[in-house]
A and B are shown apart, each in its own frame.
Chain A
Amino acid sequence: MDTFKRPSRRGFLRGTALAGATLATPTFFTRGAWAQEKFCNAPQGANVVLGFNVPQTGPYADEGADELRAYQLAVKHLNGEGDGGMMNTLKPSSLTGKGILGKKVTFVTGDTQTKSDAARASARRMIEKDGAIMFSGGSSSGVAIAQQSLAQEIGVVFMCGLTHSNDTTGKDKRRYGFRHFFNAYMSGEALGPVLADVLGTDRRAYHLTADYTWGWTQEESIKNATEALGWETAQTVRTPLGAGDFSQYLTPVLNSGADVLILNHYGNDMVNSLTQAVQFGMRDKQVNGKQFEVVVPLYSELMAEGAGEAVKGIFGTSNWDWKLTDPGSQAFAKSFGQEYGRPPSQAAHTCYVQTLLYANACEVAGTFYPPEVIKALEGFEFDGMGNGPTLYRADDHQCFKDVLVVRGNMDPSSQFDLLEVYKVVPRDQVTYDASIFGGELGPYEVAGCAA
């Protein structure tokens, strides 16, 4: 026993390597488990699962909560419960009110935390564990783009919720990602002429921009649109997402010689920066012999609610407003109001519409097989969803429809009546060539989701 012969270090290493290789063998059994016709999460049984991945915490949590309400309403309507909302106004419609392709719609939810990592983890849980056939959600373009990439890799369709960056359907577009919401370029095209009209053509603008993909593209789009009208850009300053206190960014504005402040902020960030700008008395100042103005290019009712008095008279753009009078908008606002006792926000609207459009595409395709569903959505021309005639362009999966220029209501009649529609900019004026933003959609067939 004393002469225990120890193995050489080399022999030991070799043994360890061998053991490692042996342990790795199970990998060979899991390859090629999916045949062509058995696609990722093909619904089995009587139910089909949708995944709703929204920010439940973080700077966009308010939007996320409203999106979730809309998704739940959409599922209800798809299953034939409630008054049907925009199911009744969508044209052309293949929806039946009996679920999707006869299968009852169920759903799972997740929290993106407005973080790309967390969003993808939560999306993978919904896909790998809960078997979601489609996932959807929004409120940050960075997160939407990250999830859209995941959708392409894993082979499950992602219907973007609220995302406004040009990149989502521009340089980062994906075959498995679709966006109904409008984008920063459209905001610039719609808002520019109105600003020139109301504020004049010899203004100097100062941009405060949320430091991520959405902020960057919106700053670029608004800058291009206003400079084309004769404005100058004094300075553009990036602020971190979720900064909370913007006073250090606001103090230099008045000394810069600018007479317009453009806030490329969204969610709580916009609530904070706008409120602080107003508290600093900026809107009472005279600069260059002109009244100092604040512009918020992307507006929402929830933000207006948060900012309260500060939004009065401030211009911006919006994808949709609950006070629109077309039948689709009316039906949706009514049904949402009955369910939750409050009017829907534009975030809720786009999420609801996306869910219905996906369901409709499945019905049109007659299958859940993603490539076929994608083809049914591409180039789909529809009406009755609150935005007038709308096209889902095949080249970049972007919807083209009218854009609203809105203004903070000077004399609100209720706590929800905070924005007034100043002008409806027709679809032709905001349509652009898909090639200007580059990007590539990628293939229809992806051998994605493994066992």
Chain B
Amino acid sequence: MDTTPQNNTPQTTAPQTTAPAEPQRSAHYHHSTDLPTQLPPRGPDMRPLWPPKVDILMTVLFAVAVFTMPIWLQPFGAAYPDLMQRFAIFGIFAIGFNILFGLTGYLSFGHAAFLGVGSYAAVWSFKLLSLNIVPAILLSIGIAGLFALAIGYVSLRRSGIYFAILTLAFAQMCYNLAYSVLTPITNGETGLRVLRDDPRVLDALVTGTSEVAVPRASFFGIEMSGMTGFWTCAVCLLIAFYIALRITRSPFGMMLRGIKSNQTRMNYIGFNTRPYTLVAFVVSGMYAGLAGALLAVVDPLAGAERMQWTASGEVVLMTILGGAGTLLGPFLGAVLIKYFENIFSALSDSTLFQAFSFLPDTAREVVVTIVSPFVGEGWHLTLGVLFMLVVIFLPGGLTEGFRRIARALRGGSGKKESSQ
């Protein structure tokens, strides 16, 4: 896992740290080193559409890292299906959020709304259409996209803090509606569940009956429980990652980064930036919808809590912690935060005593007393400290940290080479 960012971050993160003073520059954009207005004209003699080798390498390494998670997460105590599913799902959520925040710089504080909408759509699809995950996922992405279009159309009339507040307001509105007024649709606090005797129209057409003993989502007969659920999420994550990669590398992605570096300049040059930001908003909303659908796929229940502002804030944390604007950063951030939430929060004093059993008794008491506020219920504290450290010392997120390490290593070996 660690090797991936080291190998590739110079390509992916350089633009963010140097912007806005210096325009984006990466290996295969030699023709367009200056302004987004000088996008390469399309023609047979221009850069190939086939992605550059480094991108393919990154995708493959990413795929290997994701699909071997059950092995390399073992020593961390995180190699169980529920948590790995969460890694993949929130990875998708953060990668999608990064398309908006990382590329255009628009900070949305309401993305959890799309996650929730996606979940509800998926569960309703399980209830009304079929237990198959394909219609559920398509429906979720579509409906989340529509929601994003409506909310984005209004919110994107403002930028900066006003945009953030608008999205936050919309998300809280969705949450409160789901929690109380829309109880017939959302089942309020209990959460929307799939029941045995729901009218599954498509299933009824195919099999003759919609009744099942235990309702579980499936992919043409393969039930989505345990590891199967994880493989499904992992495949979705990979597809989502690759699409994000292509978007970032495309002229459209350049345009979005142009908006981030200086929107006014873009406007003066004669670009109408709003359609671009709106598309970015809708795409990231659809990513959130996909994540929401997958949450419902692996556990067919949709609760209103996943739309709350804390959930929206969490994805912002994930993206910043991992490195906004980078491709792998958001996924790293998602893994880290979900790991803290699920593993760190479950540590208790007795596990600490076991962990420090090599120390003499009094020393152990002292160490445990110091450490214990940071684990268990205090996991937020640890996360907060980590977040502060990252923001202060590594503004580019964890990926910047990896890049610095890589540079230090390469710097060391580079000197040797030059002296030879």
**A interface list, Cβ under 8 A from B:** 2, 4, 6-7, 9, 12, 16, 20, 23-24, 26-27, 30-31, 56-57, 108-111, 115-118, 120-121, 124-125, 128-129, 140-142, 145-146, 149-150, 152-154, 211-213, 238, 240-241, 440, 442-443, 446, 448-451
Shortest 10 CB-CB distances between A and B: which pairs?
A450-B226, A212-B189, A142-B190, A124-B82, A116-B191, A117-B303, A129-B80, A128-B80, A116-B303, A142-B189
Pick the contact of A451: B191, B213, B226, B232 (CB < 8 A): B226
Closest residue of chain B to A110, judged by CB? B346
Inter-chain contact B190/A213, CB cutoff 8 Å: yes
Inter-chain contact B299/A108, CB cutoff 8 Å: no
Q: Is B49 an interface residue (CB 8 A)?
A: yes
Closest residue of chain B to A30, judged by CB? B227
Complex contacts, A108 vs chain B, CB 8 Å:
346
* A14, B135: Cα distance in complex, Å: 22
Q: Which of B6-14, B234-242, B318-326, B384-392 contacts A (4 or more CB under 8 A)?
A: B234-242
* A21, B333: Cα distance in complex, Å: 28
Given known contacts A7-B50, A116-B191, A450 and B81 CB-to-CB distance under 8 angstroms: yes
Q: Quote the shortest CB–CB distance from A65 to chain B (angstroms).
A: 11
Inter-chain contact A128/B81, CB cutoff 8 Å: yes
Closest residue of chain A to B67, judged by CB? A23
* A351, B244: Cα distance in complex, Å: 49
Inter-chain contact B48/A117, CB cutoff 8 Å: no
Complex contacts, B191 vs chain A, CB 8 Å:
116-117, 142, 146
Extra 10 A-B pairs, beta carbons < 8 Å, given A443-B213, A450-B226: A109-B348, A116-B301, A117-B301, A118-B305, A145-B190, A146-B190, A153-B300, A211-B188, A238-B180, A442-B214
Given known contacts A12-B50, A20-B238, A110-B346, A213 and B222 CB-to-CB distance under 8 angstroms: no
Q: Quote the shortest CB–CB distance from A158 to chain B (angstroms).
A: 14
Inter-chain contact A128/B222, CB cutoff 8 Å: no
Pick the contact of B305: A30, A57, A116 (CB < 8 A): A116
* A143, B380: Cα distance in complex, Å: 23
Complex contacts, A238 vs chain B, CB 8 Å:
180
Q: Quote the shortest CB–CB distance from B407 to chain A (angstroms).
A: 30
Proximity string of chain B (369-389) to chain A, C-beta cutoff 8 Å, 1 when within and 0 when not = 000000001000000000000
Complex contacts, A149 vs chain B, CB 8 Å:
193, 301
Q: Quote the shortest CB–CB distance from B302 to chain A (angstroms).
A: 8
Closest residue of chain A to B239, judged by CB? A20
Q: Quote the shortest CB–CB distance from B205 to chain A (angstroms).
A: 24
Q: Could you list 7 A-B pairs, sorted by A, with CB under 8 Å?
A: A7-B49, A24-B232, A116-B305, A125-B83, A129-B80, A146-B303, A241-B189
Complex contacts, A446 vs chain B, CB 8 Å:
213-214
Inter-chain contact B48/A4, CB cutoff 8 Å: yes
Complex contacts, A23 vs chain B, CB 8 Å:
63, 67, 234-235, 238
Proximity string of chain B (78-101) to chain A, C-beta cutoff 8 Å, 1 when within and 0 when not = 001111001000000000000000
Q: Is B216 an interface residue (CB 8 A)?
A: yes
